[in-house]
Amino acid sequence: MATTTYIGFFRPNSDQVIYEAWRETGANPAALLEKVRGFPASLPSTCKLVGSWVASGGEVPGVMVVETESYADIQHINQYYYGWLRFDWHPVATGGVART
């Protein structure tokens, strides 16, 4: 089956919750960290996490790259992080290195 690569730009759904945790503890909320750690195992077999990056300081959005066979996998990611992160997904039409 053909796969599509998607680039997702994400930001906190509620800056206030994350920033309050940073002010109080110097770290993200424990519940969000648990979500992040559990994310790869939550993915359907039709979705592959290529990578995810977040710049310090919150000035720019984080980036997630996935390869998927179905847009339903993108919906899964949106639902998984519901309440924590909001995504702006973009399919990649061309480019990249062929995977073997």
Segment 47-85, tens digit of pLDDT: 999 999 988 766 789 999 999 999 999 999 999 999 889
Q: How far apart are the C-alpha atoms of 80 and 60, rounded to whole Å? A: 22
48 or 96, which is more confident?
48
> Distance between CA atoms of 69 and 72, rounded to whole angstroms?
9
Q: Mean of the per-residue pLDDT values for the chain?
A: 86
pTM attached to this predicted model? 0.82
Q: What's the confidence (pLDDT) of residue 15? A: 66
